[in-house]
Amino acid sequence: QVQLVESGGGSVQAGGSLRLSCLVSGSIASIVSMAWYRQDPRGQREQVAHITNVGTTTYGDSVKGRFTISRNDVKNTVYLQMDDLKPEDTGVYYCKAVLLGAAYWGQGTPVTVSS
């Protein structure tokens, strides 16, 4: 069992930055990978960043060069650093933990980027 709690969302102007945090608890040693997803106001969901348990990262095309996913295992936290934010980045951001045969989701943290 894994529990995930996101934080750090808010409202910013275009070009600004936010850092999202995902606090992880439970069977941390069983996690294979972590990811950040977002759901835009139209309901479309996409994976924006992914990190494996050995540190390999991948990003969605729309955020490459602007977003960075990282982990601090001492703090049991996964981060999403978001720079040069654009209005199309607006949405609810969710943290996901993948285990063998299971996946767990947080409740999400909203991000609004204004022009």
15-42 pLDDT, tens per residue? 999 999 999 999 999 999 999 999 999 9
Cβ-contact 25, 78 below 8 angstroms: no
Residue with tokens 């479309």: 44
Q: Residue 64: its pLDDT value, please?
A: 97
| Closest among 94, 51, 58 to 73, alpha carbons compared | 51
Q: Residue 60: its pLDDT value, please?
A: 98
Instruction: Label residue 97 exposed, middle or buried (CB < 10 Å: 0-12, 13-18, 19+).
Output: buried
Helix (H, G, I), strand (E, B) or coil at 92: strand
Q: Residue 24: its pLDDT value, please?
A: 97
> What are the residue ranges in the chain where pLDDT is below 50?
none
Q: Residue 79: its pLDDT value, please?
A: 98
Output the average pLDDT for the chain.
97
Q: For 73, phi and psi rounded to 5 degrees? A: -75, -20
Q: Residue 20: its pLDDT value, please?
A: 98
